[in-house]
Amino acid sequence: MKTLLPFLKLYRRHSLRLCCGILLAAVTLLASIALLTLSGWFLAATALVGVAGIYSFNYMLPAAGVRGAAITRTVARYLERLVSHDVTFRVLQHLRVFTFSKLLPLSPAGIARFRQGDLLNRVVADVDTLDHLYLRVISPLVGALVVLMVVTTGLSWLDGRLALTLGGLMLLTLLLLPPVFYRAGLPVGAALTRLRAEYRGSLTSWLRGQTELNLYGGAIRFRQGMDATEASWLTAQKRQASLTGISQGLVMLMGGIAVTLILWLSAGGIGGDAHPGAYIALFVFCALAAFEALAPVATAFQHLGHVIASAQRVSEIITQPPQVMFDANAPQAQWDTASLSLQNVSFRYDEGPFAIKNLSLDIAAGQHIALLGRTGCGKSTLLQLLTRAWDAQSGSIMLNDRPLHAWSEADLRSCISVVTQRVHLFTASLRDNLLLAAPTAGDEKLCDALRQVGLEKLLDNGQGLDAWLGEGGRQLSGGELRRLGLARVLLKDAPLMLLDEPTEGLDAETERQILTLLRKVAVGKTLIMVTHRLRGLTHFDQICVLDDGRLIEQGNHEELITKQGRYWTFLQRFAL
Q: Quick check: 575 pLDDT over 60? A: no
pLDDT in tens, 339-380: 899 999 999 887 778 889 999 999 998 899 999 888 888 888
In the chain, CATH 3.40.50.300 sits at 340-575
Share of the chain above pLDDT 70, in %: 96
Q: Quick check: 53 pLDDT over 60? A: no
* Confidence label for 576 from pLDDT (cuts 50, 70 and 90): very low
Q: 254 to each of 162, 170, 322, 464, how far by Cα in Å?
A: 16, 8, 52, 69
State the pLDDT at residue 75.
Answer: 93
pLDDT in tens, 74-89: 999 999 889 988 888 8
CATH superfamily of 340-575: P-loop containing nucleotide triphosphate hydrolases (3.40.50.300)
Q: Three-state DSSP class for 526?
A: strand
Higher pLDDT, 234 or 573: 234
Region 399-420: what's the mean pLDDT? 86
How far is it, in rounded angstroms, from Cα 198 to Cα 202?
6
Q: Quick check: 72 pLDDT over 50? A: yes
Higher pLDDT, 50 or 179: 179
Region 284-298: what's the mean pLDDT? 85
> What is the number of other CB atoms lying within 10 angstroms of the CB of residue 325?
12
CA 495 to chain centre: 35
Instruction: Using only the alpha carbons of the chain, give its radius of gyration.
Output: 35
pLDDT in tens, 321-337: 888 888 777 777 667 78
pLDDT in tens, 242-265: 988 888 888 889 888 988 998 888
Among 8-17, 77-86, 504-513, the range of highest mean pLDDT: 77-86
The CA-CA-CA angle for residues 335, 341, 345, to 5°, reads 135
**Which residues 6+ apart lie within 8 Å of 317 measured at CB?**
99, 102, 103, 106, 110, 111, 114, 119, 122, 123
How far is it, in rounded angstroms, from Cα 529 to Cα 499?
5
The H-or-E segment that residue 104 falls in is none
- Cβ-count burial 506-541 (b if 16+ within 10 Å, e if not): beeebbebbbebbeebbeebbbbbbbebbebbeebe
pLDDT in tens, 168-180: 998 998 888 888 8
Return the CATH number of 2-318, one of 3.90.600.10, 2.60.40.420, 1.20.1560.10, 3.10.20.30: 1.20.1560.10
Count of alpha carbons within 13 angstroms of residue 304, beta-carbon side: 23
Per the prediction, the chain carries an average pLDDT of 84
Count of alpha carbons within 13 angstroms of residue 330, beta-carbon side: 18
> Can the peptide bond before residue 108 be classed as cis, meaning omega within 30 degrees of 0?
yes
How far is it, in rounded angstroms, from Cα 396 to Cα 404?
8
Which long-range contacts link 406-414 to residues 24+ away (Cβ below 8 Å)?
Answer: 406/327, 406/330, 407/326, 407/327, 407/330, 407/333, 408/326, 408/327, 408/328, 408/330, 408/332, 408/333, 409/326, 411/330, 411/332, 411/333, 411/334, 412/326, 412/387, 412/388, 414/334, 414/494
CB 452 within 8 A of CB 522: no
CB 372 within 8 A of CB 545: yes
State the pLDDT at residue 474.
Answer: 61
How far is it, in rounded angstroms, from Cα 393 to Cα 353?
12
In the chain, CATH 1.20.1560.10 sits at 2-318
Q: Quick check: 473 pLDDT over 70? A: no
pTM greater than the 0.75 cutoff: no
Q: Where are the beta strands (DSSP E) in 349-468?
A: 354-363, 368-373, 394-399, 402-403, 416-419
How far is it, in rounded angstroms, from Cα 222 to Cα 200?
13
Identity at 103, one-letter amino acid code: L
How far is it, in rounded angstroms, from Cα 221 to Cα 200?
17
How far is it, in rounded angstroms, from Cα 290 to Cα 313?
37
Q: Quick check: 289 pLDDT over 80? A: yes
State the pLDDT at residue 344.
Answer: 92
